[in-house]
A = this chain, B = another copy of it.
Amino acid sequence: MSWISSSVMGRKGVAHGKPGKTHQLTEEAQGQYYYVYGPYEKPVLRIEPGDIVAAETRDAFGGAIKTTADLPSKVLNFPYVNPQNGPIYVEGAEKGDVLAVHIHSVLPRGPQPAGTTALIPEFGGLVGTAQTAMLNKPLPELVKKMNVTTEGVVFSDRITLPYEPFIGTLGVSPEIEAVLSLQPDYWGGNMDLPDVAPGAVVYFPVQTKGAYLFLGDCHGRQGDGELCGVAVEIPAVATVQVDLIKQWSIPGVRLETESMIMSVGSARPMEDAARMAYRDLIRWMEADYNFTESEAYFLATQAGRLRVGNMVDPKYTVGASMLKTYIA
């Protein structure tokens, strides 16, 4: 039997973590893609807790970078980047609930080379940006295309990297804000966190009636921090199972796999993202795993793990995790 039955989704979900109906959210069904996480658009789909959605996501550039000659500064039209599928209305979801998203699979689609990365002027972790404003000249703009299959990411003639896909941008709508899909925050969004991968269950605090689930920006793989700002961006079919948890209040994104629990923080500077993540992990351990605050603080000190999702987006994202074997 799957570990899902013992997950928070399995134990507390309206659908008890059991899969329901499957919806195909093709490019055609989606129609217009969206560039903000907000409550102001009409849902493209309405689902019940337990339902599965197979979404045809576009890459973060909306497919505009077809060859290495398609320089981002020429083919992109900011802020119309990072197109999202959704919003998906989840029946019964209300502010104060938690939306559980169990990721079944992320599969590449479209013609090869399906993967794109790039150096974009004034964007990235090792260059001056609009915020970390510098007088230095930008690096030359550059595009790299890669063949991406479930067999691997062909980085170069000599290097093929494992295909370790995840969903870069995933979350629910804020209550009254509509925020660029480029930004991560407590409702999810552009976390670019490699743990948001097939097998995981991700939990989001619902802010508005129907939750308004968005997703997009799949990555064939990514290192910690998404250093140059652009992972192995791919168009994909992302299949997720959605459940709804009533009466569970969480301040931000949480995540669970068979082996660990993780709390996620998004903020600048990076230490604040780490603080948010670790504080929430401690509070989770207090609430659900029978720890006092100081014992949880001590255990996080001796056995906690940090994952830097991104160090390039409007807020940096860090996940703090604990192995279930230490706390169960």
**A residues bordering B, Cβ < 8 Å?**
35-36, 38, 40, 79-80, 117, 119, 125-128, 130-139, 142, 144, 153, 155-156, 159, 161, 175-180, 221-232, 251, 265, 267-272, 274-276, 278-280, 282, 293-295, 297-306, 308, 311, 316, 326-327
- Taking the closest CB of chain B, its distance from the CB of A129, in whole angstroms, is 9
On whether the beta carbons of B267 and A297 are closer than 8 Å, the reply is: no
On whether the beta carbons of A299 and B159 are closer than 8 Å, the reply is: yes
Q: Which residues of B contact A270 (CB under 8 A)?
A: 269-271, 274
On whether the beta carbons of B177 and A301 are closer than 8 Å, the reply is: no
Knowing A132-B132, A279-B134, A301-B222, say if A125 contacts B274 (CB, 8 Å).
Answer: yes
Nearest 10 pairs of A and B residues by beta carbon = A136-B136, A269-B269, A223-B304, A270-B270, A224-B306, A133-B279, A133-B275, A178-B178, A227-B301, A268-B268
- Taking the closest CB of chain B, its distance from the CB of A252, in whole angstroms, is 9
- A299 (CB) vs chain B CBs: closest residue: B155
- A270 (CB) vs chain B CBs: closest residue: B270
On whether the beta carbons of A316 and B271 are closer than 8 Å, the reply is: yes
On whether the beta carbons of B135 and A279 are closer than 8 Å, the reply is: yes
- A279 (CB) vs chain B CBs: closest residue: B133
Knowing A299-B155, A302-B223, A306-B308, say if A135 contacts B180 (CB, 8 Å).
Answer: no
